Amino acid sequence: MISPAYAQHHSGSLAPPIDLDGLKVAVSTNLFPENFSYGDAKTANLSIRFFDTETNVNIPSVTYRVQIFQENNLVANEYFYDEDGELDLTIKPTIGCQEKELWKCTVYNGEKHAIAGGYYARGDSLPTIQGPIFDKSGKYSIQVSIVGATNPKTLTTQDLLFETFLHLPENQIFEIKTASAQEFPISVKSHNDKISNFIYDDELEKISYEIPFSWNEHNHDLNINQIISFEKDFSSIKQGYNLVASINGIKIDNEFIKFNISNPNKNLVNIDIPHQQLLLMKNELFSSSKNDVIKLEILSGEKISLNEINFSFDNEFIGNISWDSKLNSGKKIPFTFSFFDENNLPVKDMLFVYGVTDSSGKEIWSNLGIGQKYIGILAPYGIYQESIFIPNDGEYEFKLILTGKNSNNFENFFVSTSNFQINPKSILKDEKMNIIPTWIKNNAEWWAAGAIDDESFIQGIQFLIKEGILKIQ
């Protein structure tokens, strides 16, 4: 069981636990789509979960009072009820509210529970909040009071108060033109306020811009999070190539860069540098006089040579896991999971879980998903990417389990396993290329001494070239 972390991470947040009759209970909030900003879609889903942190089990029959603040402005205030402890709300952001008190522009729709009195989900119909909510970038406070729990008629002795935070990024779109006169929109979602000095260098095929940043080493929520998205056919940032990114000229480790190719219409580059990493970089990062901004640069590097392993399942689906063959153990390695049907077409809305064991059979990593309504990780477009910590070089086993499709679990799961290796940096093939056979060395000495003729020596050189031992640039 993975213990919850009481922290904020933009689209999700978890409040510290409170004692309820001997149980350590807490509230988590999550906003979907992840990194939502106004204009992405007409609606967003806000999920509020009340649960026992020690067992990770929901507390049933919960009456919530939900208050949402944008800055210091109250924008929503209403009671809700949910039977399974996870409240899902549909948010419909609107603009143009003329009221001084913004909450007066907010309306609520749905059915009210006959006993608890709050709005609740009935069938597939979710309660709806429509108003000036999530219509602006910035920090939102979600204040949740648990009024009753375990029974619609039961009220808590006193309200349990929780506060979580969500952060909506600033979304800016820049039109660029390539040397071939093609125009591409580049979207930048910044969790560090509005960016400036966006430049596309067509010759270097490099994107750069400046991020406002006020350094405070005591603010543990302070990090750098940027999401850059572009069309699939924007060739300057190439799929299948390493990404080279830097801040103030300092290269960002691959661990903090994610190149997301799972969306069929666009690719996304997510740069997420946590506070602890910024602490390690601060002396170099803020050595210049211009210490109120950070310059970010991104371009494509070398072509990636992939390692791949395949999985077959009894339902005729096929799984594939790939990763950069040059990446080493001792840190997180990005793995890409892909799923195909019997016609080799991507399987949409695939649910799966996986585990990684070492050569002794010890599990070193697993992911069972976070959904409460189904078991598994959801791969909406048949592709999922996750970074996995591989501690040492050696042999490992991937166990891949298909658990369902379209948000429903299969009656019986489908299991497949495959072995893989993470190898040392020195590879036998490379060593071989650096070894000159003894007979060639002898031939060179004899030729220099005049003991063998030119033709015999040339034949030896030709052999080296043919076998790939000697390369001619």
Q: What is the DSSP string of 2-67?
A: PPP---EETTEEEPPPEEETTEEEEEEEEEESTT--TTS-S-EEEEEEEEETTTTEEPSSEEEEEE
Angle CA(293)–CA(299)–CA(303) in degrees, nearest 5?
150
What is residue 256's three-state secondary structure? helix
Whether 319 is covered by a domain: the verdict is: yes
Whether 232 is covered by a domain: the verdict is: yes
Enter the tokens of residue 327.
């990446």
pLDDT for res 4: 41
Query: pLDDT digit string (tens) for 406-430?
Result: 989 999 999 999 999 997 543 333 3
CB atoms within 10 A of CB 214: 11
* C-alpha Rg value of the chain to the nearest Å: 28
Give the C-alpha separation, 262 to 315, whole Å: 23
Residue 142: beta bridge partners?
A: 68, 164
* Dihedral in degrees, nearest 10, Cα atoms 389, 391, 394, 396: -40
What pairing do the DSSP bridges indicate for beta strands 160-168 and 73-82? unpaired
Listed residue (24, 81, 29) closest to 56, CA to CA: 24
> Same domain for 139 and 13?
yes
Whether 11 shows a pLDDT value over 90: the answer reads: no
Task: Single out the residue in 287, 303, 319 at which a domain terminates.
Answer: 303
Q: Is the dihedral of CA 9, 139, 105, 68 positive or negative?
A: positive
Range of the domain at 103: 8-168
> Same domain for 30 and 156?
yes
Q: What is the DSSP letter of 54?
A: T
pLDDT for res 463: 56
Whether 280 is covered by a domain: the verdict is: yes
Q: How many CA atoms lie within 13 A of 319 on its CB side?
A: 27
Give the C-alpha separation, 162 to 439, whole Å: 78
> Same domain for 29 and 164?
yes
pLDDT for res 152: 61
Buried b (16+ CB within 10 A) or exposed e, 373-401: eebbbbbebbbbbebbebeeeeebbbbbb
pLDDT for res 153: 60
Listed residue (261, 207, 199) closest to 232, CA to CA: 261
Residue 209: beta bridge partners?
A: 296
Q: How many CA atoms lie within 13 A of 467 on its CB side?
A: 16
Give the C-alpha separation, 178 to 201, whole Å: 9
Task: Single out the residue in 115, 146, 168 at which a domain terminates.
Answer: 168
Give the C-alpha separation, 307 to 419, whole Å: 12
Whether 181 shows a pLDDT value over 90: the answer reads: no
pLDDT for res 322: 95
Whether 2 is covered by a domain: the verdict is: no
Give the C-alpha separation, 204 to 222, whole Å: 31
Give the C-alpha separation, 204 to 300, whole Å: 9
> Same domain for 346 and 377?
yes
pTM of the full structure: 0.77
Query: Residue 344: what are its φ and ψ, rounded to 5°?
Result: 65, 30
Residue listed under structure tokens 């907010």 = 106
> Same domain for 111 and 179?
no
CATH number, residue 354: 2.60.40.1930
> Same domain for 103 and 131?
yes
Enter the tokens of residue 161.
């108060």
* Cα–chain center distance at 225: 11
Residues recorded for the chain = 473
Give the C-alpha separation, 467 to 469, whole Å: 6
pLDDT for res 58: 92
Query: pLDDT digit string (tens) for 141-173?
Result: 999 999 988 766 665 667 899 999 999 999 999
Whether 371 is covered by a domain: the verdict is: yes
Listed residue (53, 52, 41, 103) closest to 78, CA to CA: 103
Lowest model confidence (mean pLDDT) among 54-58, 89-93, 330-334, 423-427? 423-427
Whether 242 is covered by a domain: the verdict is: yes
Enter the tokens of residue 373.
């309504």
pLDDT for res 365: 95
Whether 187 shows a pLDDT value over 90: the answer reads: yes
> Same domain for 414 and 440?
no
pLDDT for res 156: 62
Whether 471 is covered by a domain: the verdict is: no
> Same domain for 365 and 292?
no
Q: What is the DSSP letter of 291?
A: T
Whether 321 shows a pLDDT value over 90: the answer reads: yes
* Cα–chain center distance at 51: 24
CB 269 within 8 A of CB 331: no
Segment 196-214 mean pLDDT:
94
Whether 3 is covered by a domain: the verdict is: no
Q: Find the DSSP H helices in 174-290.
A: 275-285
pLDDT for res 172: 96
Cβ neighbors of 27 (< 8 A, separation 6 or more) are 14, 15, 48, 49, 50, 144, 146, 162, 164
Total structural domains within the chain: 4
Q: What percentage of the chain reaches a pLDDT higher than 70?
A: 84
Task: Single out the residue in 152, 168, 184 at which a domain terminates.
Answer: 168
> Same domain for 159 and 181?
no
> Same domain for 103 and 177?
no
> Same domain for 101 and 24?
yes
Q: What is the mean pLDDT of the chain?
A: 86
> Same domain for 97 and 235?
no
Residue 224: beta bridge partners?
A: 273
